[in-house]
Amino acid sequence: MSQSDYVIVGAGSAGCALAYRLTEAGRTVTLIEFGGSDIGIFIQMPGALSYPMNMPRYDWGFSSEPEQHLGGRNLATPRGKVLGGSSSINGMVFVRGNPKDFDHWAESGADGWAFGDVLPYFKRMETWHGGSSPLRGTDGPLHITRGKRKNPLFNAFIEAGQQAGWPHTPDYNGENQEGFGPMEATIWKGRRWSTANAYLRPARKSGKLTVVRALARKVLFDGKRAYGVEIDRKGRIEQVTAGKEVILSASSINTPKLLMLSGVGPADHLREHGIAPLVDRPGVGANLQDHLEIYMQYKSLRPVSLYTYYNLLGKSRVGVEWLLQKTGLGASNQFESCGFIRSGDDIEYPDIQYHFLPLAVRYDGKAAAQGHGFQAHVGPMRSKSRGTVRLNSADPVQAPRIHFNYMSHEDDWKEFRACVRLTRQIFDQPAFKEYRGEEIQPGDDIQSDAQIDAFIREHAESAYHPCGTARMGRADDPQAAVDPQLRVIGVEGLRVVDSSVFPRITNGNLNGPSIMVGEKGADHILGRIAGSR
Which residues belong to the active site?
465
DSSP code per residue over 103-149? HHHHHTT-TT-SHHHHHHHHHHHEEE-S---TTS-BSSSEEEEE---
* Residue type (1 letter), 120: P
DSSP code per residue over 9-28? E--SHHHHHHHHHHHHTT--
Distance CA 85, CA 165 (A): 39
Distance CA 410, CA 427 (A): 27
Q: Which of 200, 208, 198, 202 is closest to 23 using CA atoms?
A: 208
Distance (Å) of CA 348 to CA 98, 108, 284, 412: 11, 17, 30, 17
Distance (Å) of CA 395 to CA 64, 216, 250, 258: 19, 12, 17, 11
CA angle 102, 294, 376 (to 5 degrees): 85
Distance CA 164, CA 416 (A): 18
Residues 11, 86 contacting (CB under 8 angstroms) = no
Residues 52, 36 contacting (CB under 8 angstroms) = no
Distance, first Cα to last Cα, the chain: 30
Residues 284, 491 contacting (CB under 8 angstroms) = no
Q: Which of 287, 247, 229 is closest to 486 using CA atoms?
A: 247
Q: Which of 296, 290, 233 is closest to 466 using CA atoms?
A: 290
Distance CA 305, CA 310 (A): 10
Query: Between the CA atoms of 102, 107, 113 and 116, what dihedral angle is there, to the nearest 10 degrees?
Result: 70
Tell me which H or E stretch contains 246. Answer: strand 236-248
* Residue type (1 letter), 44: Q
Query: Between the CA atoms of 353, 357, 363 and 368, what dihedral angle is there, to the nearest 10 degrees?
Result: 140
CA angle 4, 8, 12 (to 5 degrees): 140
Q: Is 511 helix (H, G, I), strand (E, B) or coil?
A: helix
Q: Which of 182, 185, 203 is closest to 194 using CA atoms?
A: 185
DSSP code per residue over 426-491? HHTSGGGTTTEEEEEETTTT--SHHHHHHHHHHH-EE-S--B-TT-B--TT-TT-SB-TT-BBTTS
